[in-house]
Amino acid sequence: MKYYFKFLLLFSVFILSTQCKSIGKEQKDAKDQEQKAKPNFIVIYTDDHGYSDLSIQGIKADVKTPNIDRLARNGVRMESGYSTAPQCQPSRAGLITGRFQSRFGFEMNGDSLNGFKSETTIGERLKSVGYTTGMAGKWHLGATDEITTHGFDHVFYKNSNRPGLTNFNFDGESIPLTTETTNMYHLDACSKAATTFIEMNKDKPFFFYLAYRAPHVPLDATKKYLDRFPGEMPERRRKALAMLSAVDDGVGAIIKTLEKNNLIDNTVIFIIGDNGAPLKITKEDKPGGGPGWDGSLNDPLNGEKGTLIEGGIRTPFVVYWKGKLKNGTYKHPVSALDFAATAVELAGLSKDDTLDGVNLIPFLNGENTGAPHDKLCWRWGGQSAIRKGEWKFLKGDDREYLFNLDEDIEEKNDLLSKHPEIAKQLKTELLTWSEGLKPKGFSKRNMSKNDNIFFDYYLEGVPYRKPLDGLLYKNNKIKTDKK
């Protein structure tokens, strides 16, 4: 009898152990399925990319971006998609943190990075819920060997044809952070890094930030892409279009890789420009591809990089999620800050009120028919602006302007004298918003001589007279060319 009870005991232990293993496996499988169900995120961030320069915008006939057009046609193209700044560094800080960059004191190129370093990035947020993260291309937010400390597991830093820095290779292997020596054209290399990352992480949720240095100068397109744009045109325009064609090829390769791995249905893709194109007013077709106009265009917008006029901050902006969005164009203003807020909620994180953006998906799928934002605000150097509905109030030092963007997208008709009460209300709201920035209130910086030249030309209609010794401007500083 005692052997019988012993057998029963051992059998019970075996059954219980089997059941526990089964339950454990079921729980693990459920967790794996839950992780796989989380959408992947890809942000493609272009550099000094003017509003005109996607062919689907229907503005310029010379630009060719069929792969981005495909995403826009089957996703949503924003008519009023905005960057957070008319300059590279602050706009990137805003995108990566999801917070307006002046909240942590990083308003202009060259400002201290200390505030940014203390922020939680979208990469860090997504890593906290099981995402693998990566980036390729331009960083511009401090030391490149510290990118991994800002929430990126896999790094392929490369923004020129010089060697970059990476911790994975194109065989899909993780390696110690080392010098990148692919010898590929930098835009093609960044595209290859993106597709390699997807292959490496196809079985888990991922976030990839692809920051192409295009069409930012130096204009360095290869013959392969230049040959796609024959005929008479400014050489700088040809080079910009060629660089954008390289970017578009990369987007095509990413789409194919996602489709091949059955990931296209569950991947959210944002394509955003970091700021408008630098026209240098004259759009001079200087020889070579160095400083000057980058060949991109902002039509029909007024202004350019370095201004809070529309041409400086309204950029190409596309969101794609296969089968999840109402295809077409979207008229309400949206911000690059919306990416982080969207990703946080879709990844299952709690809504975070410290983020300045909103989850765009309910607005883009038709669930919410209202506008995502009551208003959008900017502060950059001596300039400040607010857009609320069709109205935009713009301030530069003591200069003030009011435009109805629904009726005047080119910002040619200042309505301040006709609607002083609207201007006053918007100025009050802008000031209230700016009290949450660092430092508080309207900018304590004055517009530079260069900023005033821009405002004179674009907003006041003052003819531009190039000084006899030439005019070069970079990073908000005037320099004279003594050639």
For residues 147-174, give the mean pLDDT: 98
Task: Give domain status of residue 106, yes or no.
Answer: yes
For residues 409-415, give the mean pLDDT: 98
Nearby residues of 123 by Cβ (< 8 Å), 6 or more positions away: 96, 133, 135, 150, 151, 152, 207, 209
Residue 47 DSSP label? E
Do 287 and 382 share a domain, yes or no? no
- State the pLDDT at residue 52: 98
Asked whether the predicted pLDDT for residue 1 surpasses 60, the reply is: no
Do 303 and 418 share a domain, yes or no? no
As a whole number of angstroms, the distance between CA 429 and CA 291 comes to 38
Give the lowest-confidence range in 160-164, 246-250, 352-356, 472-476: 472-476
As a whole number of angstroms, the distance between CA 374 and CA 308 comes to 19
Do 277 and 319 share a domain, yes or no? yes
Asked whether the predicted pLDDT for residue 123 surpasses 50, the reply is: yes
Q: Measuring CA to CA, which residue among 111, 64, 163, 479 is closest to residue 291?
A: 479
Asked whether the predicted pLDDT for residue 480 surpasses 60, the reply is: no
Do 288 and 239 share a domain, yes or no? yes
- State the pLDDT at residue 467: 57
Share of the chain above pLDDT 90, in %: 88
Global pTM reads: 0.91
- State the pLDDT at residue 475: 39
The answer to whether 364 and 115 have CB atoms below 8 angstroms apart is no
DSSP structure string for 255-306: HHHHHHTT-GGGEEEEEEESS----TTT----SSSSSS--S---TTS---TT
Final residue belonging to a domain, choices 335, 364, 393:
364
Do 271 and 162 share a domain, yes or no? yes
pLDDT digit string (tens) for 301-352? Answer: 999 999 999 999 999 999 999 999 999 999 999 999 999 999 999 999 998 9
The answer to whether 62 and 53 have CB atoms below 8 angstroms apart is no
Query: CA quadruple 354, 357, 362, 363: dihedral positive or negative?
Result: positive
As a whole number of angstroms, the distance between CA 69 and CA 74 comes to 8
**Residue 340: which CATH number?**
3.40.720.10
Do 183 and 118 share a domain, yes or no? yes
Asked whether the predicted pLDDT for residue 423 surpasses 60, the reply is: yes
Asked whether the predicted pLDDT for residue 19 surpasses 80, the reply is: no
Which is more confident, 31 or 266?
266
As a whole number of angstroms, the distance between CA 461 and CA 455 comes to 9
130-140 as b/e: b if 16+ CB within 10 A: ebbbbbbbbbb
**Residue 444: which CATH number?**
3.30.1120.10
Asked whether the predicted pLDDT for residue 383 surpasses 60, the reply is: yes
pLDDT bucket at 40, cuts 50 / 70 / 90: very high
* Mean of all residue pLDDT scores within the chain: 92
pLDDT digit string (tens) for 229-271? Answer: 999 999 999 999 999 999 999 999 999 999 999 999 999 999 9
DSSP structure string for 132-154: EEEEEE---SS-GGGGGGGT-SE
Task: Give domain status of residue 192, yes or no.
Answer: yes
